[in-house]
Structures are given as C-alpha cells and as structure tokens.
Amino acid sequence: MTLKKATRKDSKGYTLRTGECQRKDGRYSFSCTDRYGKRHTIYAKNLVEMREKEKELLKDLADDLDVNFAKKMTLNDLYDKYMSQKYDLKQSTKSNYMYMYDHFVRPDFGKRKITEIRYSDVKQFYYSLILEKKIKANTLDNVHTQLHPAFQLAVRDGILRTNPSDMVMAEIKKSHIWEKPKRRALTIPQQKAFMQFLEDSSEYKGWLPIITILLGTGMRIGECLGLRWEDVNFEKRFISVNHNLSDRPVGENGKTERHIQTPKTEAGNRMIPIFDEVFDAFLLEYELQKSIGFCKEEIDGYSGFIFSTYGGTLYSATAVNRAIHRATNAYNSIEEVAAKKEKREPLLLPDFSAHSLRHTFCTRLCEVTSNVKYIQDIMGHADFQTTMDIYAEVTQEKKTEITEELEGKLVIK
C-alpha cells in the first residue's frame, strides 16, 4: 500500500507549493536555492502577492540574474562601476562625463534602485531635464550616451533583464518638444561683411588671424588653439592636426584646467591644406608675435603655441568666442545705422561662435565640391554620416536657390 504525501495548506485552506509556507503572524514566505547553492527568500502579506513575487524570482533565477545584488544597487553605484572600467576614455572626456552625470543625474535620479527603474521612469526623467532644467538637446544626448551603456552593463552582468533606456531617445526625438540642434553657417555675404569689418576695425583687427584660420581650415577651436609653429609646414603648405587644447573640469566649483590631448578618433589626426588666405593669416600672426613676444606657456610638455596673448599665455576658447560675440554686436550696430542712412535693408549677422566658423567652412566645401570623402577627411569627421548630413543640407539649400532663380525662366509664354 502506497501512502500519499500530506499536502500543506494555509489557514484559509489553500494548498501551499514546495518552498512556500505561512508564518505564525499570517505572512507568507517562499524560499529556493539557485544553481550556485545560494538561498533566496521572499515575503508577502498574502498568497496572491507572494505568488507574483515567486513567479518573478523564479524567472530572474532562470535568466541567471543576480537578484540580491540588483536590489541593493543604485543607478549611482552602477554608473560608478561602468566608469571605473572605461580605460579607453581620455581623461578630459572622462572628466566631462563625470561632471555631466554629477550635475544632472547623481543628486536625484541616480539614487534610485536600478531594479525599480522602468522605461517610463527614464522617459519621465529625460522630459524633466528638458522641461524643468531647460537643458539643450545635445546635452540630453550626452546624458543618454552615458546612462544607456551603464544600464547595458547591468544587463550583460546578469543584474537586469532588459535595458530600461532602450529606445527612449528615439521616442523623445519624435515629440514636439524636441528641438534638433541647428547648425549655423554664415552666408557668403555675411562672411565677407564680417571679415571686412575685422580688417577695418582698429579694435578687433588683432583677432583677424585666428578667425581667418578657423574660417579657412574648419578646425575645431581646441585644435586651432593647440597649434604650434612646428605643426605648420609652410613649404608644403599643410597643417598637421595631431592634438588639441581642452579645458578639463576640476571639482564641483566649475573650475577648469588646461590640458593637451590627442584626438578622440583616428579621423581627428589629419592634414589640412593651407589656402592663400590662411597662409597670409599665419604670416600676419607671426609678425604680431615678433612684436609682442611669442607664447611662453607650456602645457603637458607642449610649447611653442602659435596664438598668444600680450602676457605670453595661450588664448582660451572663451576669449575667442567672446571676441566674436563683441565684434558681431559692434558690426550690427554700425550696419543698422548705415542701412538706415542709405535706405536699404541691413545685412545683419547672427549670434555665432567659433564652432559656427567650422560649420561655415564645411558648408563652403560642400558648395564647391561633391567629393564627400575629401570633405570628411578635411573636417576630421569620424562618422561619414555626419558629413553626409551637412552635404545633404547644403545641396538642398542650393537646389532651392536655383529653383527660385529659374522661376519664370523655363516656361515662357
């Protein structure tokens, strides 16, 4: 005769499964052992709640997730772990990433447990950065660029099943509140007017060489400021771009330190041809340095920088952008008065920066050549799509311009 195994039941008469039990205080618990021999126990107020938790736990264990570890880990813990393994990051990039995370994520959202963060939570957090913190689109992109791979690390380590930040940015970019950063290039008339103003101005003429070189090479401001005389080959007429000047955040008070770093990508190492206007600008700067003294500053073992202040120190990107802004305002004020006297529409300049000069150079290249690979090489774009996007924008503008010129000239009645 075979004896049946007695089934265990709770106080309400419901059958309890293996690993389940009802405690003396009426609460329920479930215990099991994973394949590593580690014991896991969950608790609940009632059987229905416990069965839901039990289902989730068994699913996590089947997926080989480290449940206990995940429940204790905050997003800040995960991010710090992720950053500690980014050995390939340049120190300046790492400092910028840390500054961005510490400023926007760590104080609030970063304190949440990663197991409690869902897709909707990430989306709501991103929206709050846009609507409440008023951050720009490219800043949010930078935040996402850090959070997404951090969450992905947790997925690969078996701490999370899915990445809660997957596809969040794609959805936000489709919304009406997303404002795509607009590239701003000077038109040819604006470019000519601004450069002529600098040449004629006693106050701003000293900035003419560096602005001419920025406009005639498409270099990033850090690449241009980091140039040394030895990087310029006047005989063969090319510039060797192999490093750049960066301002690295230090501490939490917004202070920065100057450092020299090599380009982030291989595409950043490049040779840029020296056109006649740029050649003359270098000569003008050289003559100026002969009179005021050459740069005496040394940064990370680099010296002999081209652009120097009267004190013998290197220009800063902030100083260049501030000069562009002041010169633009001065030009617009004069132009408005002149246009009013001459009874014409003023040719005003937009508020632009040194980076706008880089985009202006790229725009001019796209207008005169269809060799996109050549443009990519000169600009140092690591991503071919970046070059293609600019080329597509420029060619579309040209098509519109040509279409307007042809209006009424093709079908003649």
- Is 239 inside any structural domain? yes
Q: Please identify which residue in the block is written with the tokens 């009802």.
A: 22
Is 335:346 a contact under the CB 8 Å cutoff? yes
Instruction: Tell me how far apart the alpha carbons of residues 340 and 319 are, in angstroms, rounded to a whole number.
Output: 32
Instruction: Tell me how far apart the alpha carbons of residues 169 and 119 are, in angstroms, rounded to a whole number.
Output: 11
Is 307 found in the same domain as 246? yes
> Closest by alpha carbon to 38, among 14, 12, 57?
57
Count: domains in the chain: 3
- pLDDT of 197 reads 96
3-state DSSP helix/strand/coil % of the chain, to nearest 5: 55, 10, 35
302: three-class secondary structure by DSSP: strand
Distance of CA 178 to the CA centre of its chain: 16
For 39, the enclosing helix (H) or strand (E) is strand 39-44
Instruction: Tell me how far apart the alpha carbons of residues 342 and 248 are, in angstroms, rounded to a whole number.
Output: 49
Which CATH number belongs to the domain containing residue 244 in this structure? 1.10.443.10
238: three-class secondary structure by DSSP: strand
Is 45 found in the same domain as 194? no
Question: pLDDT digit string (tens) for 25-68?
Answer: 889 988 888 766 778 788 888 988 888 888 877 776 665 555 55
Is 309 found in the same domain as 248? yes
Q: How many helices (H) and strands (E) does the chain have?
A: 15, 8
Listed in order, strand segments (DSSP E) in 252-391 are: 255-261, 270-273
Is 100 found in the same domain as 57? no
> Closest by alpha carbon to 181, among 375, 399, 359, 410?
359
Is 188:182 a contact under the CB 8 Å cutoff? no
- Is 128 inside any structural domain? yes
Distance of CA 131 to the CA centre of its chain: 19
- Is 203 inside any structural domain? yes
Instruction: Tell me how far apart the alpha carbons of residues 186 and 57 are, in angstroms, rounded to a whole number.
Output: 60
Q: Please identify which residue in the block is written with the tokens 């940015």.
A: 169
Max Cα–Cα distance, the chain, nearest Å: 117
- pLDDT of 404 reads 66
Which residue ranges in the chain fall short of pLDDT 50? 1
Is 397 found in the same domain as 250? yes
The amino acid occupying position 385 is: Q
Is 335:329 a contact under the CB 8 Å cutoff? no
Question: pLDDT digit string (tens) for 207-241?
Answer: 999 999 999 999 999 999 999 999 999 999 999 99
Is 248:95 a contact under the CB 8 Å cutoff? yes
Which CATH number belongs to the domain containing residue 142 in this structure? 1.10.150.130
DSSP state of 3: P
Is 344 found in the same domain as 249? yes
For 175-207, b/e burial (b = at least 16 CB within 10 A) is eeeeeeeebebbeeebbebbbebbeebeebebb
> Closest by alpha carbon to 375, among 398, 354, 393, 349?
393
List the domain range (segments joined by +) for residue 118.
75-173
- Is 88 inside any structural domain? yes
Is 271 found in the same domain as 146? no
Backbone angles phi, psi at 232, to 5 degrees: -110, 120
Packed helices 354-368 and 372-379: angle between N→C axes, nearest 10 degrees: 160
Q: Full-prediction pTM beyond 0.85?
A: no
Is 220 found in the same domain as 127? no
What is the pairing mode between strands 39-44 and 20-22? unpaired
- Is 409 inside any structural domain? no
For 43, the enclosing helix (H) or strand (E) is strand 39-44
- pLDDT of 1 reads 46
- Is 69 inside any structural domain? no
- Is 130 inside any structural domain? yes
Is 155 found in the same domain as 288? no
Is 274 found in the same domain as 220? yes
Of 144, 173, 202, at which residue does a domain stop? 173
Is 311 found in the same domain as 273? yes
Is 46 found in the same domain as 145? no
Instruction: Tell me how far apart the alpha carbons of residues 151 and 81 are, in angstroms, rounded to a whole number.
Output: 11
The amino acid occupying position 261 is: Q
